[in-house]
Structure 1
Amino acid sequence: MTSPTIRRRGLLQSTLVLGVLGAPPIIAARGETSVKIGMVDPLTGILSALAASEVEGAKYAVARINKKNGILGRQVELLVEDSANDVGTGVQKTHKLIERDKVDVIFGDVNSGIAYAMSQVTNEAKVFQIVPGGHTDPITGTDCKWNVFRICNTTSMDATAVTGELVKRFGKKFFFITPDYAYGHTLQDSFIKHLKALGGTYQAEMLPINTSDFSASLIKAKAFKPNVLLNNMGGLAQINCMKQFTQFGMQNEMHLGGALFELETIKAVPKEAQSGTWAMEWWWDQPNVPEAVAFVADFRKATGKTPSARHWFGMVAVESVRLAAEKAKSLDGLKMSRAMEGLALPPDIAAQPGTIAYRAGDHQLMSNIFVGDVHPPTSNPDNVVTVTNVVPGEHAAGPVADTGCKMVYPS
């Protein structure tokens, strides 16, 4: 057994070393470990730009929280793993974070299929999981789980928010270019449901998520002569599709639109393709919301960037862990999940109007959807969207009963 004198000397030495490195000495004195958050995202591959922003937003929040005594008095450590946009890799990395790194919480993944597969692992291990940016409906619908919460909208919410606007302003003849995986399937199904209800017609092309040549699909779209072309691809695939769309001169023949055209992607396409009507899941330019103005200013100061929705997802994920842990007074997965149900984000975290809360019945965050028109930059490089309508999340989501979620907690 180690003597009290030796233990005290060891603690003092550790405190001095940690103090030099900048860590709060109180943590070493208490012998407490850090709060570990594991994050799995596709840092390589076609969705890497979106994933990088989520990670950056999470790191921003970790740094901010650690300056304020961390979570439950413990510093926060973010462990990031690359899923490489591959389901098997994402599952493997999730196992590693839980079993080897002993993380308290898991985030991920941008790819909805990976996020869903990860949820099977975290549920079995009873580890609290937040899905910052994977959209497919079943995650908080038919396959909902007691330990899983989601920040971004469901595909149904995005489609509900924007379909009527597109039909009203441009017509009811749509052509879809959609990725052939979980996100694309549920998104296109939702669009078609709403379009048919409004008496619309459509044609659709379902393509691999990593498609780079869209010429055949765009030729079909030209022949169909739609009022609106909905580019449902994501990341680099969406960028390539947009570039080829403008090379074919199709911006003069039909309107663009869809569920998501994210800030990272808008800035990466030719200005001719910076157009259309889309759903934004969080938007930085909210001059009448002081908390949003303050968040944007602080994020710019910390990173030199204007925050996108993906940055906001990452920030909210970390802050939600803090809020749930403080409410539960624990990092236990079951206790945190109970604490998170119905939890409303404080205004400085929500950074948007209204009450933004995790719905108890399906664990879906009810945030606003900013429907707007994309255009080339005006006053600054990030001023590329004019918001025309703000749709409350509850309105777009509909009742929990319609999602198919049957929430079951461990007995």
Structure 2
Amino acid sequence: MEQKKPGAVSRRAVLQLAAVTGVAQLAPPMLIQARGEQAVKLGLDNPLTGTYAATGKNELTGCQLAVEQINAKGGILGRQVELLIEDSTSGDAGTAVQKARKLIDRDKVNFLLGNVNSALSLAMAEVSFEKGVLHVVPGGHTDAITGKTCHWNVFRVCNTTRMLTNAIAKTLMDQYGKKMYFLTSDYAFGHTLQDGYDANLKQYGGTKLGEDLIPLGTTDFSSYLIKAQATNPDIIVFLMNGDDLLNALKQAVQFGLEKRIHLAGANTELEVLEGLPPVARIGDWVAEWYHVQPNVPHVDEFVAAIKKKSGRVPTARTWFGYVGAWTCALAANKAKSLEAVKMAKALQGMELPPEVGLMPDTPFYREGQNQLIGSLFVGHAQAKGEAGPDDLFHVDTVVHGKDVAGTVEESGCKMTWPKA
């Protein structure tokens, strides 16, 4: 046994003396340092398996880069940031809610991030609202998140589904015709996309020939495609995402539908375009962020940083995750607090700095709705563009988000704040 040196004071004795006398100076320096360096925790509850695994993993990569940059710049309120990760699955709301409660109740996260799936985002938002935790939804699009079921503590990075349809519907009708048939994912995301297109058709004199609600995770679309083709539409509109959209487009091209009918949708993802054979990289879509943006400051640096980290170019999903994590830091550092209400107030109307916003229009969180408003990129898929093998989308028009977002009143958001 090691003998104590003469005159040495044991650690236990120091602690006992501090407790008895209340003299803080006698607490060991290592304990003071440990308290000061307690990490600020961000909890990401997002799909890493299932239909939305690819998009979820890219949002994770964006979060990770943001956390690295935040820590390199001094962290949040001078404390380092820790990212805790849970797999929500792609479609199980029960699992997403369970993981959200674990992150909040057991892991004591200061912020909640997620989800790719709109229905899971809505379920998680009820948990974060109940617990009073600031919640950033990077990539769940359904309108209600910042609409009819909006909460003071819930902010969204990606566009609403109505913004997506408003950005492209008129262009499609003007260029390809007004008779449309819809293949729509049967959950919150697809439902509100369909509502948006229905309103656009009414506004611009279009005709809805039919609609099929298709379960998430469907792999065989043949019966739906045959039914759509039989109505002789000008456009078949695919209101789905992830592996569902990838499989549907593959089969549409196998049937040769693109030779007779225009194929289009709302948003598309680089993850989907990469998974398609070149002949199926077709149709008109909305990209919510794109890595080829000449003359937009800091985009090239962001692309280089992501490529160094992951070996691939960033997608819109990467940017969603990046902005989501940075939003947490910006809110806390502006509020000079980790109190959720103070941070939510600090985000009202906040503009993202150029190195985070990475868009022609400066993105900002609209006051009273908590919806990020930036730029949308309307264009068409391509087998390969001038910028290299990753350039699978051609931007035809940059749409200003504020022009397609409607008003806060039209969104249905009636936000109430906790009483002081």
With the length of structure 1 as denominator, give the TM-score of the two structures: 0.93
Counterpart-to-counterpart distance in 1, 2:361 and 2:131: 35
Q: Give the CA deviation at 1:9.
A: 9.5
> Using the alignment, how far apart are the partners of 1:2 and 1:252 within structure 2?
84
Q: Which residue of 2 aligns with 1:266?
A: 273
Structure 2, unmatched stretches of 5+, are 1-11, 19-24
1:177 to 170, 180, 183: 183
CA contact (8 A) 2:385 2:394 kept: no
Distance 2:34 2:45 in 1: 32
> Which residue of structure 2 aligns with residue 53 of structure 1?
58
Q: CA deviation at 1:209?
A: 1.1
Mapped partners of 2:82, 2:216: distance in 1 = 32
Candidates 137, 142, 165, aligned match of 1:159: 165
Cα offsets for 1:281-337 (capped at 9, x unmatched): 111111121222222222222322111000000000111111110110011111110
For structure 1, the residue ranges without an aligned partner over 5 or more in a row are 15-26
390, 398, 402: which one aligns with 2:398: 390
Mapping of 1:138-153 within 5 angstroms? Answer: 138-153=144-159
The Cα shift of 1:29 comes to 5.4
Residue by residue over 1:64-95, the C-alpha shift from the partner in whole angstroms, topping out at 9 and shown as x without a partner, is 21122211111111111111120000001011
Describe the superposition over 1:76-131 as per-residue Cα deviations: whole angstroms up to 9, x where unpaired: 11111111120000001011000000000000111111111111111111000000
Partner residue of 1:401?
Answer: 409
Deviates more, 1:383-392 or 1:141-150: 383-392
Matching residue's letter, 1:151 = V
Counterpart residue type for residue 73 of structure 2: K
| 1: CA distance, partners of 2:181 / 2:54 | 26
Give yes or no for the alignment of 1:76 onto 2:90: no
How far apart, in 1, do the equivalents of 2:76 and 2:48 lie? 26
Cα 1:8/1:75, change in 2 over 3 Å: farther
After superposition, residues 203-242 of structure 1 pair within 5 angstroms as 203-242=210-249
Counterparts in 2 of 1:99 and 1:393: CA distance versus 1, 3 Å: same
2:11 corresponds to 1:3? no
One-letter identity of the residue aligned with 1:208? P
Q: Which of 67, 72, 79 is the equivalent residue of 2:72? A: 67
Q: Residue 193 of structure 1 aligns to which amino acid in structure 2?
A: A
Report how many residues are paired: 398
Shift of 1:234: 1.4
Partner residue of 2:22?
none
C-alpha RMSD over aligned residues: 1.7
Choose which of 120, 125, 133 in structure 2 pairs with 1:127.
Answer: 133
1:324 and 1:336 in contact (8 A); partners too: yes
1:176/1:204 contact within 8 Å kept? yes
Question: Larger radius of gyration, structure 1 or 2?
Answer: 2
> Which whole-Å deviations, capped at 9, do the CAs of 1:350-375 have from their partners, x for residues lacking one?
00112210001210000111001111
**CA contact under 8 A between 1:174 and 1:230: conserved in structure 2?**
yes
CA separation in 2, counterparts of 1:2 and 1:284? 60
SS of alignment partner, residue 278 of structure 1: strand
Amino acid at match of 1:105: F
Distance (Å, rounded) in 2 between the aligned partners of 1:313 and 1:71: 20
TM-score, length-scaled by structure 2: 0.91
Is the CA contact 1:291–1:352 (under 8 Å) kept in the aligned structure 2? no
Aligned to 1:286: 293
Name the residue aligned to 2:282.
275
Q: Which amino acid aligns with 2:333?
A: E
